[in-house]
Amino acid sequence: MSGPGLDPTFTSLPHRTLGDAALTRARELGVTHADFRFERVRHQRLGVRDGVLQTASDSEDLGFAVRVIHHGSWGFAAGVILTAEEAVRVTESAVAVALVAAEMTTSPVEIAPEPVYDDVTWVSSYDVNPLDVPTAEKAALLIDWTNRLRTGAAVDHASAALYQVQENKYYADLAGTRTTQQRVRLQPAFEAMGAGADTFDSMSSIAPPVGRGWEYLTDGGYDWDDEIEQVPELLAEKLKAPSVEAGSYDLVIHPSNLWLTIHESIGHATELDRALGYEANYAGTSFATYDKLNTLRYGSPVMNVTGDRTVEHGLATTGYDDEGVQTQSWDIIRDGVLVGYQLDRAMGHMKPELNGNRSNGCAYADSSGHIPIQRMANVSLQPAADGPSTEELIDRVERGLYVVGDRSWSIDMQRFNFQFTGQRFYKITDGELVGQVRDVAYQATTTEFWNSMEAVGGPQTWVLGGAFNCGKAQPGQVASVSHGCPTSLFRGVNILNTNDEAGL
C-alpha cells in the first residue's frame, strides 16, 4: 500500500533517540524482552445540525511507552516528556513494575518468535489526508448535506458529522525490529429525523467508515448525492409503515446490517483471550472455547470467515502490529467449522499449533499510555465466487424481510444469545419487495443463526463495513475495525415486534 508518505511533522520528532535510550537501558537491566512505542494520534470532529456548525474540535495524543519481560513477568510504563532522560526513567519504571508482578506470576510470560524487520515503513492507502483539508471546506459540505436533507417534507431535523484520525507509530525492540507507520481513517455520517402521526423516527446514512482519505467524500467511491436524495423519501415511507407481525421469517440481510452481527457474534467470539477466559471480569468470554477448535459447527457450509489485517482501506489494517509482527490474513471459519482465532505474541506461544508458533498480528494499543492487547482484525464473511445478486436472493424468498442498515443490538457476555434491529426492513412476498415495516428485531443464538444461512451473495454484493468504537480492556481502549460481507440469505429466523416486547 502507498499514500502521500510519512508526515514530516512526525518524523522530525525525537522518537529514534528516545527509543535507543530506552532499549539501551533495558538491555543493561537484563530484561529478556523490551519494546518501545512512540505515538502521535491526531483527531478532528465536526458536527452540524440543521445547517449550523455546532462542533469543531481538534485533539492530539503524543507520548511513548516501554514494555518489558523481566523475571518472567510483564512490566509497562509510559511518558510524555520527550527527552532521553525521561525515556531511561520510564524504562526503569517498567522494569520495577515487572519485578513487583514477578512475585504474583505463576506462569512465566513467553512470546512467540517473529522475524526482524529493520527500519521498515508503511503508510495506509489514501490520496488526501482529511486533516490537511481546510475545516471551513469540510464544514460547508456537512452544512450542505443537512440543508438538502431538510428539503424533504418528512424531515424535521437533520444532522451530519465527520470524524477523522491520523495515527503515527514508531516501534522498536531489542531483537532489532524498527517500524514507522501512518494510518488515516474517517467516519462520515448523516441522519434525517421526522415525526409521523403517532411516532418519531430517523433514517441514517449506511455509508461505512473507511481507512481512506478526503477523496472518499469527493471521488465517486460512494454516491453521497444519491443517498441524500433518497433518505427523505425512505424516512417518509418508514413513518407510515405498518408494524411487523412477529413470527418466523426468511431474511435477506444487506452488508450494511450484517457487518455488525459479524462483529458481535463472530469477531468478539473468536478473540482468543476471550475464549481462554482472560476478559471474563469485564468484556466477557466466548461460547467458542478452545476445546471446540476444528469441531464446532459455527454455521452452514457456505460460511467462510477470515481474519485480515491487510485488506485495503480496512480500519484494522496496518503493516505491523504493536508487537512488531507483520500483519496477515488467515481462516477463522472454513466451510462452517471453527478453525482459527485472533491472537497476539503471548497467545501465539501458548497455542503454537494455531499459527505455527507465531502471532497473527492482532496486538494494538489505542494510545501511548495504554499497553497493547489482543484486538480484533478485519473479520469478514467471504462471498461465493459465482454467487447470486441481492435481487436473486430476494427472488428466492416467499415470506421474509430484507434488512438494510444497522441500528441497536444486544448480545450476552458469551456472544451467544442476541438480537439486532436495523435502519429499515422491507417485507418480501413471493420474491418481491412490497414496502417497509417497522418495529422489527431479529433474534437467535449465534450457531442457530449462522447455520440458517442458505446462501451468500457474489463479490458484486460484498461491502466492507465497520465501526470506529469497539471497546475492550481495563483501562478501557477503543479500536476501529472493518467487517466485509456479501448480502446473505437466512431461513426461518425469529422476528420480534419491538413495541410488543416493550409493552407499548
Q: What CATH number does residue 43 fall under?
A: 3.30.2290.10
At 2 the pLDDT is: 46
The model's pLDDT over 437-463, given as tens digits with 9 standing for 90+, comes to 999 999 999 999 999 999 999 999 999
| Whether residues 117 and 134 fall in one domain | yes
Amino acid at site 355: N
- Please say which residue of 225, 240, 255 terminates a domain: 240
- Tell me the three state secondary structure of residue 278: coil
CA distance 57 to 45: 5
Q: Does 3 fall in a domain?
A: no
- Cis peptide upstream of residue 388 (ω within 30 degrees of 0): no
At 239 the pLDDT is: 96
Q: Does 90 fall in a domain?
A: yes
| Whether residues 38 and 171 fall in one domain | yes
Which residues does the chain have with pLDDT short of 50?
Answer: 1-2
- Please say which residue of 240, 274, 303 terminates a domain: 240
Q: Does 219 fall in a domain?
A: yes
Which pTM does this prediction carry? Answer: 0.97
| Whether residues 469 and 365 fall in one domain | yes
At 280 the pLDDT is: 87
- Tell me the three state secondary structure of residue 183: strand
The model's pLDDT over 169-214, given as tens digits with 9 standing for 90+, comes to 999 999 999 999 999 999 999 999 999 878 899 999 999 999 999 9
At 501 the pLDDT is: 87
| Whether residues 262 and 175 fall in one domain | no
| Whether residues 168 and 56 fall in one domain | yes
CA distance 262 to 208: 15
- Report whether 239 contacts 195 (CB < 8 A): yes
C-alpha separations of 327 from 1, 23, 110, 319, 476 in Å: 13, 24, 20, 6, 24
| Whether residues 309 and 226 fall in one domain | no
C-alpha separations of 128 from 138, 312, 315, 403 in Å: 13, 16, 17, 34
Q: Does 2 fall in a domain?
A: no
At 3 the pLDDT is: 57
C-alpha separations of 176 from 104, 278, 380 in Å: 30, 30, 33
C-alpha separations of 503 from 20, 198, 202, 242 in Å: 63, 16, 21, 17
Q: Does 122 fall in a domain?
A: yes
Can you read off the three cell numbers belonging to residue 163?
Answer: 470524524
| Whether residues 326 and 230 fall in one domain | no
Q: Does 474 fall in a domain?
A: yes
The model's pLDDT over 94-123, given as tens digits with 9 standing for 90+, comes to 999 999 999 999 999 999 999 999 999 999
| Whether residues 233 and 260 fall in one domain | no
At 1 the pLDDT is: 41
Q: How many domains does the chain have?
A: 2
At 197 the pLDDT is: 79
| Whether residues 275 and 221 fall in one domain | no
| Whether residues 262 and 196 fall in one domain | no
CA distance 153 to 458: 37
| Whether residues 284 and 225 fall in one domain | no
Q: Provide the domain limits for residue 181.
A: 8-240
Q: Does 491 fall in a domain?
A: yes
Cβ partners under 8 Å of residue 217, min gap 6: 141, 188, 224
- Please say which residue of 240, 257, 282 terminates a domain: 240
Q: Does 208 fall in a domain?
A: yes
| Whether residues 186 and 324 fall in one domain | no
